[in-house]
Amino acid sequence: MQRIIAPLIFLLASIAVAQTSQPTVKLAVTTQPLGQSNKLSAKFKLAVSRDNKRLGLFLFDGQQVAVILDGKPLATHEWVVPNSGDFTEDSKTLVYIAQQGPEMAVCVNGKPLKGYYEVLPPVAASVDGSHLAYVAREKTGKRLVVFDGVESARFDEISSLVLSQDAKRIAYIGRRDGVTFLVDGTTETRVDSKPFDPAIARFGAEGKRLAFMYEVGSKVYLRVDGQPFGPYEGVRGNPVIAYDGTHWAIAAKLDGKWSATEDGKPIATADDIAMMGYLENPIRLRYVTLNDKVQRMVIDGKVVATLPEGVGFLPISPHSPDYQRLAYPSRHSTDEQFIVVDGKEQATFKRVVPPIFSKDSKHVGYIASKTGNDVQIVVDGVIIAALDNAAVSIDSLIFSPDGKHVAWLATPAGQKPGLYVDNVRGPSLPEMPKGSRITFDDDATLRILASDNDYNVFTYVVKIQPN
């Protein structure tokens, strides 16, 4: 259950929303209770499903932990490992690690699997939760991987356990008697990596290709589908594999120069290289070079964007979901910044932040500031809200699936956090527990998790209606 988590960024700014015309929408709000937590349970993270419709609560009464799923009692345990609870990607299965007596076990929707002296988080799960892989420790201290109930050989240390997206393969790094092994399923490959040298394992999206990366002293080596590459003097990030498995790439340092390396062969050199990745439709390699303090984004061997000195690397995902559009921040000077969309400069602001695309790739939204003390929410080059003296969570900005509506969270000075849709304020949110976020059920329905001072947890469901 891997998530990629975007950092929360808060801007202090002003909300003086000037609407020059009647709002085009109105919001119908309903509340759905999901359960009640308590003060003793603060150490347990709420488990929120991907679709934002289900909730797992872990309630500690000082002696045992009760698991509440969707407001109903599910199971009771002597202890639950904090932060081990999570839903599978299809939102149907709650997985967590619990203690009962002298043993710990992975629990699936409240039912414990085989017990071990210790189970070490996290648990890797397939999309539907039908396949699980995790590391367990025996009382002797030996460690093993459990994959769908089948136990691996024993090791002294195990790290970097990964499950392929198709859930057919596992890979990890194991150490036994001072020797490091790269493990692909049950196949062990011995390497000379020393103790505590970092190592990672990574599958391609379809699970057909496997890359290991490990260090031996000051050198970095790769092994892709069993074939060794390196040594390299250094690398930027992890190896990336094209979605269809046809190619792999990494930014590596060779003979004092950084190189974009594809399938083990250098294809470009620069003072620095970063942001290696593959685009889809069709498969193309993307990376960013730095030469003479100027950054250039290269796709399929062609420069598609240039940033002047001091702008900073492009955001991690500057492309639209269909990979056909590109938007990124740039600037003429420190206080003259702007967003470039499809090669065209938009309005200049004192500050801008990386933009987002709508799911259908047709719309671009971002947050900017004209003076440094205000925040402007911009959609397709039009300012739709002017915010004063408010905290704005940038990663809350989201489009509806059809791209016709945009929502965000803002906290005006002296007020509670509020949900905004198309610049219309919806419900005030007493508290936003960890894991709370805006999600759309459909083009006109969204929801967000909230709680109150009595530890009640509930969901606001907001219907967007024509005004």
Structure tokens at 443: 């083009």
Is the pLDDT at 421 greater than 60? The verdict is yes
* pTM, to two decimals: 0.85
pLDDT band for position 221 (cuts 50, 70, 90):
very high
Main-chain phi, psi angles of 445, to 5 degrees: -135, 130
| Mean pLDDT of the residues in the chain | 87
Confidence of residue 39 (pLDDT cuts 50, 70, 90): confident
Q: What value does the mean pLDDT take over residues 166-171?
A: 94
| For range 289-303, the mean pLDDT | 92
Residue pLDDT, tens place only, 229-249: 999 999 998 999 998 889 999
pLDDT score of 197 more than 70: no
Instruction: Average the pLDDT over 216-229 and give the result.
Output: 92
From CA 211, how far away is CA 228, in angstroms rounded? 10
pLDDT of the residue at 206: 74
Burial status of residue 49 (CB atoms within 10 A of its CB: 0-12, 13-18, 19 or more): buried
HEC readout, 159-171: EEEEECCCCCCEE
- pLDDT level of residue 376 (50, 70, 90 thresholds): confident
Convert the pLDDT of each residue in 87-105 to its tens digit: 999 999 999 999 989 999 9
What pLDDT score does 6 carry? 31
What's residue 18's pLDDT?
Answer: 42
Place of tokens 């530890």: 455
**346 burial level (CB within 10 Å; 0-12, 13-18, 19+):** buried
- Residue 310 — pLDDT band, cuts 50, 70, 90? confident
Q: 437: buried, middle or exposed (CB in 10 Å: 19+, 13-18, 0-12)?
A: middle
- Say which residue, 13 or 130, is predicted with more confidence: 130
**Region of poorest pLDDT, from 209-213, 246-250, 278-282, 433-437:** 433-437
Distant-in-sequence, close-in-space partners of 2: CB < 8 Å, separation ≥ 6? 124
The stretch 148-163 carries a mean pLDDT of 96
User: In the 8-state DSSP scheme, what is residue 223?
Assistant: E
Q: For 183-196, write each residue's pLDDT tens digit.
A: 999 999 999 876 55
| Residue 46 tokens, joined | 């709420």
Instruction: Classify residue 312 by burial, with Cβ atoms within 10 Å: 0-12, 13-18, 19+.
Output: exposed
Percent of the chain whose predicted confidence (pLDDT) is above 90: 60
Comparing 208 with 85, which gets the higher pLDDT?
85
pLDDT at 20: 45
Mean pLDDT along residues 295-303: 93
Q: How many CB atoms lie within 10 A of CB 316?
A: 11
Structural contact between residues 323 and 358, judged by C-beta atoms closer than 8 angstroms: no
Q: Is residue 442 a contact partner of residue 401, using CB atoms and an 8 Å limit?
A: yes
By mean pLDDT, which of 132-146, 164-178, 370-384 is the weakest?
370-384
pLDDT tens for residues 238-288?
Answer: 999 998 889 999 999 999 999 999 999 999 999 999 889 999 888 999 999
**What is the distance between the alpha carbons of residues 122 and 96, in angstroms, rounded to a whole number?**
9
Q: Per-residue confidence at 198, pLDDT binned at 50, 70, 90?
A: low
Provide mean pLDDT across the span 416-430: 87
Specify the pLDDT at position 2.
Answer: 30
Q: Rounded distance, CA 17 to CA 371, Å?
A: 16
Residue 313 confidence (pLDDT): 66
Q: Which region among 11-25, 50-64, 369-383, 433-447 has the lowest average model confidence (pLDDT)?
A: 11-25
**What local confidence, expressed as pLDDT, does residue 196 receive?**
52
Nearest-5° Cα angle at 179, 173 to 184: 30
| pLDDT reported for residue 41 | 76
Q: Is the predicted pLDDT of residue 80 greater than 90, yes or no?
A: yes
pLDDT-derived band at 7 (thresholds 50, 70, 90) equals: very low
Cβ neighbours around 466 below 10 Å, total: 7
pLDDT given at position 302: 94
**Identity of the residue numbered 60:** F
Least confident of 30-34, 156-160, 256-260, 392-396: 392-396
Gap between the Cα atoms of 325 and 13, Å rounded: 30
Amino acid 433: pLDDT? 72
Q: Is 336 left (phi over 0), alpha (psi -120 to 50) or beta?
A: beta
Does residue 122 contact residue 84 with C-beta atoms inside 8 Å?
yes
d(CA 258, CA 262): 13
Query: Read out DSSP for 33-91?
Result: EEEE--GGGTTSPPEE-TTS--EEEEEE-SS-EEEEETTEEEEEESEE-TT--EE-TTS
Q: Assess whether pLDDT exceeds 80 at residue 149.
A: yes
Cis peptide leading into residue 231 (ω within 30°): yes
